Amino acid sequence: MHTFAIGSRDFLLDGQPFRILSGAIHYFRVHPDLWTDRIRKARQMGLNTIETYVPWNAHSPAPDTFRTDGALDLGRFLDLVAAEGMQAIVRPGPYICAEWDNGGLPAWLFTDPSVGVRSSEPGYLAAVDGFMDRLLPIVVERQVTRGGPVILFQVENEYGAYGSDKDYLQHLVDTAKRAGIDVPLFTCDQPFGTMIEDGSLPGLHKTGTFGSRAGERLEFLRERQPDGPLMCAEFWNGWFDNWGTHHHTTDAAASAAELDVLLSAGASVNIYMFHGGTNFGFTNGANDKGIYEPTITSYDYDAPLTEDGHPTDKYFAFRDVIARHFPVPPETPARRSPAPESVVSVAAGAPLLDVASTFPAAAVPGPVPPAEATGQYSGFFLYERQLRGGGVLSFGEVRDRAQFFLDGAPVGTLGREHGERSIVLPRGGLLQVLVEDQGRVNYGPRIGEAKGLIGPALLDGTELEEWSVRAVDLPSLDPFRAAAVELPAGSSGRGGVAGPSVSFGSFEADGPGDRYLRLDGWTKGNAFVNGFNLGRYWSRGPQRTLYVPGPLIRAGANELAILELQGSATREVRFVAAPDLGPDEK
């Protein structure tokens, strides 16, 4: 067993000074069969610690549920960190931001409007306690004091940018200690204004989050915490991307120079991100600072290790900096050979509206209901209502993208990012509205908001009530497979597919191997390999390829499925060896 403590100027491992050289890897953004590879490459860069958030909503997709299977097996992830001889930092929130859906807070929690958000409101605290009661035993038994790798445990996350409820923070501290957390507790906040003071409590170690002007930021932190080791708990060496913007990059040499400043000042560091990973499925978050901006599927983050686990120039620049201060392992990081490129054509498909109309409907009396009325909290939702005539149909808000159909014929699309809320319907008939939740806001006051069509729904000023809403069940593609029919004959993939639809194709492989799915000629939707939701694609970019983790591929026949919302100009996709995140900002 070991000890870990906070000294007057140093972290102390077994009483000896210990500099934390950490890198962020989110286990939930990486295929579990690839965890060891990513952790080992962090050690080979010279790091001694792995940091991770814990996403409450992924572990608890429904009330009274707590999953630890597959990519959610935090215990196994921490054990693999220990197996590499490294330490671990756990940051369970309950709010994590992380450009993750709803900042990690479960959407089901806020179907009760009385529940608070990141506060000492009793309903919120009760739910947090339920989460911590299941999570904390996994962490407690893996603390360094019990022979495990965990040396630090974070309380909340950048709370000073949101609020200053000291009772809430104290409740989190008491909950952790009562469960047996005996490693040091810390908070992290941006070194601006009063954020560091607002986001912490006396007795909690304060750390900063920043990516530039390291000397100035550390000085600001020292002024507010005269004693204890300096630490940048999030050294931002890259950034995330939103749909419709450029791909963000940071100069490797400039980032390495800032890292050198940090280490030369005697500070500890957590590189955010060391390896970003992927927002598989519907897990991406969104920003909304006046304009709604959903995050793309790739969380590459311009990190030292790419989305598919390859070391970059930044990796070696950081390794060189670390080597000037500390010993680094002599091993060279292993590079994997990419899978061969290939072309796949979809051969069968099913209209999405036809299949979705067979799913159970929640008939809700009164005003148009939010999507949460279905009991599903992400993905797609189908609203339906008979109309006697046409007119101008408007809503309080559309969250986040709605395609409108009359008797199956498309009549228009409304998007949240442009503030679009009304559409002209030329006539009556069966109105169907396919609404896509493009990702819940992960930062700021709009955390916890409802999705779907937000009322009132007015047709020429008269409120429309008595809607039905269906959850479009995509975790299982079986209903779409059963309804799929052979696509009309075409030549060399020409002709495309109609949208919205789900199309299927097959491809052969020699066995597992990383690749990227390139969707030139397709417009918007999601892609699946062997039933696994790779995430969203959108022709507006910057992302033009979807990462396919090698372990998803099996020897022999494999299935490709594509949910296309608007329609494509082709039936072909390509598997390629390299990603395409579009041009950077330079």
Strands 4-6 and 485-486, bridge-based pairing: unpaired
Q: Which residue has tokens 């009359």? A: 406
Phi first, then psi, for residue 447 (nearest 5°) are: -60, 135
The residue from 99, 156, 234, 564 that is catalytic is 234
Instruction: Spell out where 223-359 has E strands.
Output: 231-236, 268-275, 286-288, 292-294, 342-345, 348-351
234 as an active site residue: the answer is yes
Residue 467's closest CA among 435, 423, 509, 501?
Answer: 435
Distance (Å, whole) CA 130 – CA 487 = 49
> What are the b/e assignments for 175-188, b being 16+ CB within 10 Å?
bbeebebbbbbbbb
The partner residues of 266 in beta bridges, in order of sequence, read none
The residue from 99, 156, 158, 293 that is catalytic is 158
Residue 189's closest CA among 221, 141, 213, 215?
Answer: 221
Q: Is 446 exposed, middle or buried (0-12, 13-18, 19+ CB in 10 A)?
A: middle
Cβ within 8 Å of residue 469, ≥6 positions away: 361, 362, 364, 369, 371, 373, 374, 381, 382, 383, 384, 452
Phi first, then psi, for residue 469 (nearest 5°) are: -140, 135
CA dihedral defined by 351, 354, 355, 357, rounded to 10 degrees? 150
Dump the DSSP string for 362-427: EEE-SSPPPGGGGT--SEEEEEEEEESS-EEEE-SEEESEEEEEETTEEEEEEEGGGT--EEEE-S
Strands 532-538 and 391-394, bridge-based pairing: unpaired
Neighbouring CB atoms inside 10 A of 228's CB total 19
Distance (Å, whole) CA 475 – CA 495 = 28
User: In a 3-state reduction of DSSP, which class is residue 279?
Assistant: coil
Q: How far is CA 403 from CA 387, 423, 443, 469, in A?
A: 16, 10, 27, 14
Whether 240 and 279 have beta carbons less than 8 Å apart is answered as no
> What are the b/e assignments for 323-360, b being 16+ CB within 10 Å?
eebeebeeeebeeeebbeeeebbbebbbbbbebbeeee
Strands 501-509 and 515-518, bridge-based pairing: unpaired
158 as an active site residue: the answer is yes
Distance (Å, whole) CA 119 – CA 194 = 18
Q: Write the DSSP symbol of residue 191.
A: S
Residues with a catalytic annotation lie at 158, 234
